[in-house]
Structure 1
Amino acid sequence: MIGAGPTGLAVALMLARQGRRVMIHERFETPRPVGAGFMLQPTGLHVLDRLGLTLAVEACGQPIDHIFGREARRGRVVLDVRYSDLKQPRQAIGIHRAAMFAILHDACIEAGVDFETGREIVAADAGHLVDSAGRRSAAFNLVIDASGARSPIATSLGAERRDLAWGALWTTVPWPGAPFDPTALQQVYLGATRMLGVLPCGTLPGAPAAPMATFFWSLKTEIWPDWYALGLGTWKDHCLRLWPELAPVMDAITDREQMTLAAYGHHTLARPVDDRLAVLGDAAHSTSPQLGQGVNMGLLDAQALANALTQHRDLGDALAAYARARRWHVRLYQALSLGFTPFYQADGRLLPWVRDHALGKVARLPLAPRLLAATVSGILLDPRAR
């Protein structure tokens, strides 16, 4: 197993509970989370239900009822997605990566998963691992690559990463309180060149009385040096002009180093398996986070692989079954993410005008709210049924 992110930890836990010996290889000296808050959609929560971890997630996460976005100049509502519109309503959960990591890591330790740290794996060959120093491991029955969007193993299988022009700056701050809604992901847009958002993400491990929020601000990654050189004061003033209620969030950001730049890319492996190899999560399919599916898709991959390994005695048959099980759901959401992104992160005026003046009206047509909620929830071509 390569990578101790949510996908790697989840599949390691599943396989260990099946009675298999599992070792996770992690490039950091100590396994740790990377990133800020994210949303567990009903699909990801379905996987956690099967792992028996949903109660632990609910204890430190924050229920999310809806996603709300408005245009900065006139305050026009252009996005209002409610989980209550689902045929079978279920809230999402905002959670910090540190909390998710702690829950999965502790469960892996309890299940007997082994960890080897401080070793960066760059290749896999017929069950052997090769690290950045050129060392080759003994053969494993199966190698699982969950090392993320820049996986060199995925590249060797033909993943052609398309770097996206737009990324985002992220940070975690204390929950700002009213008028922010603790049950909503709230966003403000200025055309498609500015997108600001506040996501409630529950509490951090060891701090149950201190609710947090993740704040993000989109930008072209090529202008990040200019942003860094500009200084916080000018940038904060700009944010407050777009969204005056952000004052407590801006007060909590006192150093540019608090803001982490996330650069996004898009690729989809045509075949996420090879000889004794399965590729999961962002290593197999990465994209922008506009639909909030990244971790959830990885959890679904983990469940599909674990299911396939119990249903097929032959490893080749199991890997082929895993690839089939995830093929169409992955392709649909990769296409949707790629199509939606320019409406929220792009130059030009046409697409944001369409978003602000047409999509909002379309979203109020009969059945449209349910379709939007199903899309955001990840249940189109519902993978839970399989």
Structure 2
Amino acid sequence: MTQPRTVAIIGYGTAGQALSILLSRDHHVVHVFERAKAPGPVGAGFLLQPSGLDVLWQMDLLPQVLRHGAPVQRLYGETPCGRAVMDMRYAALDAHLHGVGMQRGALFTLLAQAWEQPGNLQADTAIVEVDSDTGRVRDARGQWHGPYDVVIAADGAASTLRAQVEGARHDREYPWGALWCLLPRGDWPHVDELRQRYLMARRMIGLLPVGTRPGDDTPRLSFFWSLPRDRFAHWERDGMARWLDDVAALWPEAHGLLQDVAPEALARASYRDTRMRQWHRGRLVLAGDAAHAMSPQLGQGVNMALLDAIALRDALRAHPDLTAALQAYQQRRRAHVAIYHYWSHWLTPLFQSERDTLARARDVLFGPMGRVPGGRGHMLRVLSGTQHGWMGRLPLSPGFVTAMDEHGAAGRMR
């Protein structure tokens, strides 16, 4: 039986939400602290991979996710002249599997509805200090809370608390960010594909079907446009008309979807590259982007957060001793995350940089590399979140694979 503990979760993003559900179901007393006055989703959409979908199946949320999300069967990227740079199909990995594009608002709502103790969410409370020895936490107003048996810092890529673990090996902000928004899908033809277009590595534009959300049955696309962080002000000053001309030159079909978008609808995103030697100290432990922020190039952020949550739950179940539990959690997750940090670090300059020589090599070599024996399978496993180390595979639950197969069969019958 799980030893009941008192738990403080700092941050109500995907990692914090999933942890609040899983740990409450295990009869821990869970309190969540969130700095936002009105907690809600941040960002437009994302791609749930089989790894993250498996966790949602274990949380009994897969039917709701599949109801609102958009099935994604293919990941396709090309140059403006039509040269295919990336062309990956989930069927080449497993005929029963696919990704799911989803609006952040949809997943946020489904996770919020699944937590049985919403009264334990304390909004408008920024935690600025953790006493890792006693488990007490101090908010920005100077008030102390606790003590807690476990304090989980899930306060995102820009975490203010990870420094208190004193285990950072590398922590820096990426020079490139992105503009994001949601668009009505309309008559967009690629309803089950992530589509991207690249101009060298200086321009990257993408459209991902992300389905609907509770209370809104309009199917939507998540649009993104990569941009150096130091060019955000230039973009704003140049105005929408000039930017839309750039979009039209790169991808006329995407330009047609953006005609009625107001500048304020385009959210700005920035990213960090964070690698930690240690994920915990005393009673304090990191989860989600606070533990392993990385470039969004591989699209793994939400999936990694879900995997963190279930791994930490399992470790607390298996080890009555807290130190042993946190160490087991760290070992399990670092073994999976390491390969994604590696590829994210090396792939990002191929898609977001001013290194034209690298981009030309990418355009020529990516296709053939994917056809090398073993190479395509490795690339598919990395993209789907199921690569574990250099040679291993992240096991998926047999029940999850069956559920995906049944869902696919039901869809074909309709």
User: After superposition, what is the alpha-carbon deviation per residue over 1:199-222, rounded to whole angstroms, capped at 9, x for unaligned?
Assistant: 1111122012x1011110001110
Partners of 1:30 and 1:118 within 8 A in 2: yes
Structure 2 CA distance for aligned equivalents of residues 365 and 258 of structure 1 = 42
Structure 1 CA distance for aligned equivalents of residues 314 and 95 of structure 2 = 24
**Aligned CA distance change for structure 1 residues 141 and 345 (closer, same or farther; 3 Å):** same
Match of 1:319 in 2: 326
Match of 2:177 in 1: 167
Q: How far has the Cα of 1:88 moved from its partner?
A: 6.2
User: After superposition, what is the alpha-carbon deviation per residue over 1:258-279, rounded to whole angstroms, capped at 9, x for unaligned?
Assistant: 1111111101111111111110
- State the one-letter code of the partner of 1:69: G
Match of 1:62 in 2: 70
Structure 2 CA distance for aligned equivalents of residues 61 and 252 of structure 1 = 24
Alignment of 1:1-386 (within 5 A): 1-72=9-80, 74-87=81-94, 89-108=96-115, 110=116, 114-125=120-131, 126=133, 127-158=135-166, 159=168, 160-178=170-188, 180-208=189-217, 210-253=218-261, 255-381=262-388, 382-384=393-395
Structure 2 CA distance for aligned equivalents of residues 247 and 317 of structure 1 = 54
Q: How far has the Cα of 1:95 moved from its partner?
A: 0.3
Q: How far has the Cα of 1:325 moved from its partner?
A: 0.9
3-state DSSP of counterpart to 1:22 = strand
Partners of 2:51 and 2:396 within 8 A in 1: no
Question: How many pairs are equivalent?
Answer: 381
Partners of 2:201 and 2:352 within 8 A in 1: yes
- State the one-letter code of the partner of 1:228: E
Structure 2 CA distance for aligned equivalents of residues 321 and 368 of structure 1 = 31
The list of structure 1 runs, each at least 4 consecutive aligned residues, that deviate by more than 3 angstroms after superposition, is: 382-386
**Aligned CA distance change for structure 1 residues 331 and 367 (closer, same or farther; 3 Å):** closer
User: After superposition, what is the alpha-carbon deviation per residue over 1:72-103, rounded to whole angstroms, capped at 9, x for unaligned?
Assistant: 1x210010011111146411100001000000
3-state DSSP of counterpart to 2:272 = strand
3-state DSSP of counterpart to 1:287 = coil
- State the one-letter code of the partner of 1:276: R
3-state DSSP of counterpart to 1:177 = coil
Structure 2 CA distance for aligned equivalents of residues 250 and 176 of structure 1 = 12
- Where do 5+ consecutive residues of structure 1 fail to align? none
- Where do 5+ consecutive residues of structure 2 fail to align? 1-8, 398-414
User: After superposition, what is the alpha-carbon deviation per residue over 1:50-72, rounded to whole angstroms, capped at 9, x for unaligned?
Assistant: 00000010111000001100011
- State the one-letter code of the partner of 1:344: F
- State the one-letter code of the partner of 1:121: I
Partners of 1:196 and 1:218 within 8 A in 2: yes
Q: How far has the Cα of 1:112 moved from its partner?
A: 6.0
Partners of 2:369 and 2:376 within 8 A in 1: no
Q: How far has the Cα of 1:21 moved from its partner?
A: 1.1
Q: How far has the Cα of 1:367 moved from its partner?
A: 3.6
Structure 2 CA distance for aligned equivalents of residues 86 and 267 of structure 1 = 29
- State the one-letter code of the partner of 2:352: Q
3-state DSSP of counterpart to 1:251 = coil
Match of 2:401 in 1: none
Partners of 2:183 and 2:222 within 8 A in 1: yes
Q: How far has the Cα of 1:137 moved from its partner?
A: 1.4
Q: How far has the Cα of 1:132 moved from its partner?
A: 1.6
Structure 2 CA distance for aligned equivalents of residues 350 and 190 of structure 1 = 12
- State the one-letter code of the partner of 2:207: V
3-state DSSP of counterpart to 1:152 = coil
